[in-house]
Amino acid sequence: MGKTHKIAVLTGDGIGPEVTEAAVNVLKAAKSASDFDLDLQYAEAGFHCIAEYGTNLPEDTVALLKRTDACLKGPMTTPEEPGAPVSVAVKIRKLFNLFANVRPCRTFPNVEALKPNIDLVVVRENTEGLYSGVEYEVSPGVGIALRIITREACLRVAEYAFKLAEKRRKHLTYVHKGNILRVTDGVFKDAVLETARKYPDVATADIHVDAAAMHLIKKPESFDVLLTTNLFGDVLSDEAAQVTGSLGLAAGANIGDSYGMFEPVHGSAPKYTGMNRVNPTAMILSAQMMLEHLGEKKAATKIEKAVLELLKEGKIRTADLGGSSTTREMGVAIAERVKSLP
Ligand code: NAD
């Protein structure tokens, strides 16, 4: 028997528990067909904890996360009133210095996309920018948010993105709004260009965020790695996901030097709670990214293959893909396929 990986599982709010259950079943199937083990440790976090604990990320959960190798996180509902607890994802990213949010977007077999042959990855700075959470109401009706951008954080995420581009099609586009945000995006641009000099074999281009939003619709197949700051990356990755077919297929990884958290791009979609209707694939592919990060390449490849085969066959599809299968049916079908793969 190979290594045992300790995984913290946070099931989340809304559709979180349904899609997490599907992903955990797929992980168990991948484990049973491989020579590693998973020690899955469930912990409390999310909107549903606030009434009981006064926080969405209880201290016991933080302690448990620190004892694990990675976290599989279901989507969570974030309250919006000023003073309410900050998003759990944002807290964990900062606590563990998960500086790169990696969100692959690609076309899938038999899934209707706006354009064919899309295969891009959004790499988003994950610890600062407009997600720093520093906001003030300086006088009634006048609000200010600080967009903190540091050279250090930009260099760190740029290094990650260039390394990734080097392994892919060797093309990186960095996205900014330097014509308006001259100081903050000036820091970002300088850091990217400084890093680019270390990777002469990676072709580097820049684009303003508004033009990037347009080109993601017009010619998404032209992008390989898209590197950007926190809020721009969040918006563009949702857009890229929908361009390739459905938010229900878009997985994500939050990567730091010594920890990783894996969660879908989508949120808790509260209106579908308990309906057994949404697509679990984004969560399943997030679990696949986790296995890859943990070095379990063979099992990760099996999960990817199972998803691609199922989509290609087109018999089991959730409503977002034009079908009528349930979350559970799709999850079970992927898990069974993983088990049957050689
Ligand atoms: P959302 O991503 O939850 O849902 C938007 C729409 O996308 C849904 O109405 C649905 O049509 C579609 N969708 C989402 N997931 C899907 C799936 N698996 N299968 C099929 N279709 C799917 O975005 P929202 O409505 O803006 O946010 C709801 C809550 O989620 C908010 O409280 C928000 O703060 C939170 N959120 C959390 C995270 C996270 O935990 N990392 C990320 C984004 C949003």
Asked if residue 263 has its Cβ within 6 Å of ligand 1, the reply is: yes
Asked if residue 266 has its Cβ within 6 Å of ligand 1, the reply is: yes
Residues 6+ apart with CB under 8 A from 316: 310, 323, 325, 329, 330, 333
Asked if residue 279 has its Cβ within 6 Å of ligand 1, the reply is: yes
Asked if residue 89 has its Cβ within 6 Å of ligand 1, the reply is: yes
Task: Note if 298 is an active site residue.
Answer: no
Give the number of other Cβ atoms within 10 Å of residue 76's Cβ. Answer: 24
Q: At what angle do helices 297-313 and 16-32 cross, to 10 degrees?
A: 120
Residues 6+ apart with CB under 8 A from 271: none
Dist. CA 280–CA 288, nearest whole Å: 12
Structure tokens at 169: 């099609």
Catalytic option among 13, 69, 160, 177: 177
Residues 6+ apart with CB under 8 A from 54: none
Tell me if 71 sits within 8 A of 260, measured CB to CB.
Answer: yes
Structure tokens at 329: 């049916």
Supply the pTM of this predicted model.
Answer: 0.96
Catalytic option among 185, 224, 234, 320: 234
Closest ligand 1 atom to Cα of 271:
9
Structure tokens at 159: 């290094």
Per-residue pLDDT 10s for the chain (342 aa) are 789 999 999 999 999 999 999 999 999 999 988 889 999 999 999 999 999 999 999 999 999 999 999 999 999 999 999 889 999 999 999 999 999 999 999 999 999 999 999 999 999 999 999 999 899 999 999 999 999 999 999 999 999 999 999 999 999 999 999 999 999 999 999 999 999 999 999 999 999 999 999 999 999 999 999 999 999 999 999 999 999 999 999 999 999 999 999 999 999 999 999 999 999 999 999 999 999 999 999 999 999 999 999 999 999 999 999 999 999 999 999 999 999 998
Catalytic option among 69, 131, 224, 302: 131
What is the torsion angle, in degrees rounded to the nearest 10, for the CA atoms of residue 192, residue 289, residue 101 and residue 38? -130
Asked if residue 56 has its Cβ within 6 Å of ligand 1, the reply is: no
